[in-house]
Chain A
Amino acid sequence: MEDIESRNIANLEMETDKKKILEVKNLKTYFYTEEGVVKAVDGVSFNMYEDEVLGLVGETGCGKSVTALSILQLVRAPGEIEEGEVIFKNVDLLTLKKKKMRDYRGKDITMIFQDPLNSLNPVMTVGTQVKEVFELHQREEIYELLDQKMLEWKNKQNRIKELEKKLEDNETNQRLTKEEISDIKNEIEKLEEETRDRPTYRSILREKSRKILEEVGIPDPEEILERYPHELSGGMRQRVMISMALSCNPSILIADEPTTALDVTIQAQILDLMKDLKNEYKTSVLMITHDLGVIAEICDRVAVMYSGNIVEYATATNLFKNPRHPYTKGLISAIPTLDKKKKELDTIRGSVPNLIYPPEGCRFHPRCDYRLEVCDKVRPLLTQIGESYFVACHLFDPQYKDSPKYEWGKEELERTRKI
Chain B
Amino acid sequence: MSMIKYIFRRILAALPVLFGVLTLTFILSRLMPGDPVLATLPERFTTEQYLAAREALGLNEPLLNQYFDYLSRVFTGDWGQTYTIAKGRPVWDIIWLRFPRTFDIAIFSIIIASIIGLKTGVIAAKHRNKFRDTFFRGLALIGVSIPVFWLGLILQFLFGYYFDILPAVGYKTSGIGDPPVITYLRLIDCFISGQWYLALDYLEHLILPIFCLSFITIASITRQARSSMLEVLEQDYIRTARAKGAKEKDVINTHARKNALIPSVTIIGLNFGGLLAGAILTETTFNLHGLGDALLVAIRYTDYWLLNGIVFLITIIFILINLMLDVLYAFLDPRIRY
Which residues of A come within 8 Å of B, CB atoms? 72, 74, 76, 102-107, 110-111, 113, 115, 118-124, 132-133, 136-137, 228, 230, 241, 244
Contacts and interface: CB of A to CB of B under 8 A. Distances in A.
B242 interface: yes
Nearest to A137: B245
Given A113-B236, A113-B239, A122 B334 contact: yes
Q: Most chain-A CB neighbours within 10 Å: which of B239, B242, B244, B258?
A: B244
Contact of B333 (A103, A107, A123): A123
Q: Most chain-A CB neighbours within 10 Å: which of B239, B243, B335?
A: B243
Which range contains the number of B residues in contact with the other chain? Answer: 20 to 34
Nearest to B234: A76
Contact of A103 (B245, B254, B259, B332): B245
Contacts of A106: 243-246
Nearest to A104: B245
B193 interface: no
Nearest to B335: A230
Interface string B239-259: 111111111000000110011
Nearest to B233: A76
Given A118-B235, A119-B237, A124 B244 contact: no
B243 A111 contact: yes
A110 B242 CA distance: 10
A132 B236 CA distance: 17
Specify the main secondary structure of chain B where it touches its partner.
helix
7 contacts: A102-B246, A106-B245, A107-B245, A113-B236, A118-B236, A230-B334, A241-B240
Contacts of B335: 122, 228, 230
A132 B240 CA distance: 12
Nearest to B240: A119
Given A121-B259, A122-B333, A122-B334, A102 B239 contact: no
Given A228-B334, A228-B335, A230-B334, A121 B237 contact: yes
A88 to B, nearest CB: 14
Nearest to B247: A102
B246 A132 contact: yes
Given A76-B234, A111-B243, A230-B334, 18 more contacts: A74-B242, A102-B245, A102-B246, A102-B247, A106-B243, A110-B243, A118-B237, A121-B237, A122-B259, A123-B258, A123-B332, A123-B334, A124-B254, A132-B241, A136-B246, A137-B245, A228-B334, A241-B240
Given A228-B334, A230-B334, A119 B245 contact: no
